Amino acid sequence: MTTYVHFLDVGQGNMTLLELDDGKKFLYDCNVTNDNADRVFAYLEQEIGKGTAIDVFICSHRDADHIRGIKRVHKKFPVKQVWDNGVAATDPDTTECREYMDLRRSVIFKEVESCKRYDYGDTRLRIMNSKDENLPDDVNAQSIVIKVVHRDEDRNLASVLLTGDTDAATWKDIRKNYTDDDLSCSLLLASHHGSITYFDDPADTSYYYTSHLKAKAPEMTIISVGDNGYGHPDEKALKFYEKYSSGSSQGNKIYRTDEQGHMRVKLKDEGGWTLRKEKG
């Protein structure tokens, strides 16, 4: 076995499938719509098999574009457990949030805490952020952050860092508990669909905060994004990701789901990783 991380092309939202070394299937966020459902379900059936159960659905935070369509997913790929951070939605009275909460009440539920880790064969999930009273009272800031690591005993072979919609203030707080080595990763899922909030701390507008990205030093950055009116991905943010991503073996630094489609990353037993994209 090995570890696979799939970045699904779901438009303006996020949906990341994890296949762990012990065979378990985790889903980090969901954004299934009428427009993308056929493509998304076809891809999931191709990769994990029709009707295969999702062992855990991890809701990074309860914004609609991170939980949309989870009821539809549950009907086709039964969800056994739900993990979230325990932070209420900004607007709990939406179809997306009601359907999510219905699912949460109907299956095993776990409130995830920061600074925990879980091993599944040679896959380690490190929870680097969750509900935190020291952070701004904002659902994005308190997104669940997970470092997915493929390991060989005590050696990390390759990793992917999943960042939800976290902002600069979140990462200043995370760095109180983790070293730069802890933050380093092979691939990075760009926060908040490439928003500038990852670098722009409203508490100090005199400069852009980039030292957290320097510490991560990913080879490539993946941006999950679609048509939107928010200006995602931000042009300045793209320049930072380009500058501080070292590049794959082919020199690629940034891939986007709206341009490359679904992407499957294999974290290899011998170290390193490979990426298969749907388009091109």
246 pLDDT band (50/70/90 cuts)?
very high
Q: Are 66 and 60 in contact (CB under 8 A)?
A: yes
Q: Are 162 and 274 in contact (CB under 8 A)?
A: no
- At residue 239, does pLDDT exceed 90? yes
- Eight-state DSSP code of residue 205: T
What percentage of the chain has pLDDT greater than the value 90? 91
Q: What is the mean pLDDT of residues 98-117?
A: 97
Q: Are 67 and 79 in contact (CB under 8 A)?
A: no
CA–CA gap between residue 82 and residue 168 (Å, rounded)? 27
Q: What is the mean pLDDT of residues 25-32?
A: 98
Q: Are 120 and 25 in contact (CB under 8 A)?
A: no
| Architecture of domain 3-269 in this structure | 4-Layer Sandwich (3.60)
Residue in this structure with the two tokens 């949030």, named with its chain if needed: 97
Q: What is the mean pLDDT of residues 35-50?
A: 98
- At residue 68, does pLDDT exceed 80? yes
CA–CA gap between residue 252 and residue 221 (Å, rounded)? 9
- At residue 118, does pLDDT exceed 70? yes
pLDDT at position 154 is 81
- Rg of the chain (C-alpha set): 17
- CA 88 from chain centre, in angstroms, equals 19
pTM: 0.96
CA–CA gap between residue 38 and residue 82 (Å, rounded)? 24
